[in-house]
Structure 1
Amino acid sequence: MAIFNIDYKALRESIFKWSRKAGRTATRPVLLMWYVMKSKDTPRADKWAIFASLAYLILPIDILDSKRLPVIGWLDEVTSLAILVQKMSKYITPEMEIMADVQLDRWFSTGSEYIEYELIEG
């Protein structure tokens, strides 16, 4: 029986690229799931569930095409992530939350090109 290993490096790079389009707020739960998946305390079956959900979210493959069905096309991804976070929240530790926030600060710092939003003064 072949044992498959998760390619953490490739998935992390894909999350980083995806975060450029998604923004800070949408990236936070993804990073939390990333840290849960990497934890030695998370059962292997749950790691695979997280991997599958994150891969579906960040890869350009969609069951419901967001170009043809603008609102509905995003619902499958949002729903998938929401269910995943709900089921895996028992594994999220305060340390994981801190690591996710630190990583978000790096990716979305004021001096970088990754800014969550811009205030427009009138």
Structure 2
Amino acid sequence: MSIIKLDYKALWDGICNWSRKVGRATARPVLLLWYVMSSSETPRKDKLAIFASLAYLVFPIDILDAKRLPVIGWLDEIVSVAVMIQKMAKYITPEMQCKVDALLDKWFPEYAQYEIIEA
């Protein structure tokens, strides 16, 4: 049995840099996936799937090159995150959502004052 060593710090750094470039709305599902992956309640196989999806999104490795295929080049990444959000939604807790919103408020304070969220 081989042990896979995942570099969570490099992934987090990549997510932070990527998120600040793409903006609040686009970063939110990615950060939710990060918190799901970080949870002790999430099964290991799901954590590995999330890690792979997030790494594919934020690191400069592409199956479909966005520079050669501008629209299609982003589809593989969008689909990867969308599928992960759909599959992992059952693990997203209100606490995770609050952590993500607080982090986004810190990174994008200009947007925080305009958002009104009512239950």
Question: Which residue type is aligned with residue 73 of structure 1?
Answer: G
Q: What RMSD in Å do the two structures reach over aligned CA positions?
A: 1.2
Distance between the aligned counterparts of 1:6 and 1:94, measured in 2?
27
Kindly state the Cα deviation for residue 55 of structure 1 after the two structures are TM-superposed: 0.1
Question: Which residue type is aligned with residue 7 of structure 2?
Answer: D
Distance between the aligned counterparts of 1:75 and 1:100, measured in 2?
24
Distance between the aligned counterparts of 1:86 and 1:53, measured in 2?
13
Distance between the aligned counterparts of 1:99 and 1:5, measured in 2?
26
Unpaired segments of 5 or more residues in structure 1? 116-122
Aligned residue for 2:36?
A: 36
Runs of at least 4 residues off by over 4 Å? none
TM-score normalised by structure 2 residue count: 0.88
Kindly state the Cα deviation for residue 53 of structure 1 after the two structures are TM-superposed: 0.2
- How many equivalent pairs are there? 111
Kindly state the Cα deviation for residue 8 of structure 1 after the two structures are TM-superposed: 2.1
> Could you give the per-residue CA deviations for residues 20-49 of structure 1, whole angstroms, max 9, x where no partner exists?
221111100000000000000000000000
TM-score normalised by structure 1 residue count: 0.86
Larger helix share, 1 or 2: 2
Kindly state the Cα deviation for residue 78 of structure 1 after the two structures are TM-superposed: 0.5
Unpaired segments of 5 or more residues in structure 2? 112-119
1:23 aligns with 2:18: no
Percent of aligned pairs sharing the same letter? 65
Distance between the aligned counterparts of 2:24 and 2:55, measured in 1?
18
Distance between the aligned counterparts of 1:60 and 1:41, measured in 2?
30
Aligned residue for 1:81?
A: 81
SS of the residue corresponding to residue 48 of structure 2 reads helix
